[in-house]
Structure 1
C-alpha cells in the first residue's frame, strides 16, 4: 500500500526518467538511388520530405527486372523493411539461364 504523508509518498516511489533506448524519428533519410533503377516517393503530406508515412517505390529501368523488395515505408524506426530495396538485374539474365538449362 502506498500513501501520501506530509507531501511525501510512503514508501518512496522511483523517479521517472526518459527512455533513451528506443530511437523514435519523425522522418527518414533520403534513399540512395539504386543501380539501374529509380526511386519514386509517395508523400504522406507536403509538410516535410521523407516524413513518417512516406512510401518509397523502386522502379527498374527498361531491360531490368526487380529481385526483392519494391516498396519501403518510413516509420518511427526508419525505412522498413530494414534490409532495403531489392536489386534491378538484367532481364536478359533470366532468359540466358532458362536456355542454358533447357
Structure 2
C-alpha cells in the first residue's frame, strides 16, 4: 500500500500525508462498493431486456470517481476546518452536546 499512498500524496499535492493515507483507504472502498454495479454478473446482464429497473442499476466507473472527488473535497474542507480550530474535536464536542441536549449544533 506504500506505493499507492505515495502516489496519492504525489498526485493530490493539496493533501497532507495523513489525508493521503485516508484517501488511499477510501479508494478500494469506493471501487469495491461500486464494482458489482460496474461489472454485473452474466445473470444480471441477461435480465436487462426483461426489466428496465435492473438496467438502471448499471453504472460506470464515473460513480467511483465521483465518490473519490467528493472524498477529496471533504478532506480538503476538513483540513481547512482543522486549521481554523473547527476540525474533528469541534465535531466531537458538537456531537456530545447533541447527545446531552437532544438539539442540533
Calculate the TM-score normalised by the size of structure 2.
0.23
Task: Give the greater-gyration-radius structure (CA).
Answer: 1
Higher percent of residues as helix: 2
Higher percent of residues as strand: 1
Calculate the TM-score normalised by the size of structure 1.
0.23
